[in-house]
Amino acid sequence: MRARVFVTLKPSVFDPQGKVIADALHSLGYGGVGDVRQGKYFELDLAATEAAQARALAAEVADKLLANPVIESYRIEID
């Protein structure tokens, strides 16, 4: 199975890269774009055959390595 892990800075944490990207989009004329948040995206190929098992493993590696819980949160999709 495949797990997709999206890691982003928590809403309360200032994202300097996202701010620069938002400013760039505004200067390109995209006034309809508001805030931008940049994050990381991981695709994990897993040996697991059950979605619940895959999700548990993806959460474990996200907690242990992929995300820093002080500043980041993550979301997992399984397919």
Partner 1 sequence: MKFAIIVFPGSNCDHDAHHAAQDVLGQQAECIWHKDTSLNGADVVILPGGFAHGDYLRTGAMARFSPIMSAVREFAGRGGPVVGICNGFQVLLEAGLLPGAMLRNVSLKYQCEFVHVRVDQVDTPFTCGATAGQVLRIPIGHGEGNYFAPPDLLRSIEANRQVVLRYADAAGRVSDDSNPNGSVNGIAAVCNEQRNVVGMMPHPERACESILGGGTDGLVILQSVVKWVTAGAHPAEKLALHAS
Binding mask 21-60 for partner 1 (x = CB under 8 A): ----------------------------------------
Residue 66 contacts partner 1 per CB under 8 A: yes
Surface-to-core class of residue 42, CB atoms within 10 Å of its CB (0-12 exposed, 13-18 middle, 19+ buried): middle
Which two three-digit tokens encode residue 51?
Answer: 């979605």
Q: Can you name the residues that pair with 45 across neighbouring β-strands?
A: 2
Surface-to-core class of residue 62, CB atoms within 10 Å of its CB (0-12 exposed, 13-18 middle, 19+ buried): buried
Identified binder of partner 1 from the candidate list 24, 51, 68, 77, rule CB under 8 A: 68
Identified binder of partner 1 from the candidate list 28, 47, 52, 70, rule CB under 8 A: 70
- Chain residues binding partner 1 by CB under 8 A are 9, 12-14, 16-17, 20, 65-66, 68, 70-71
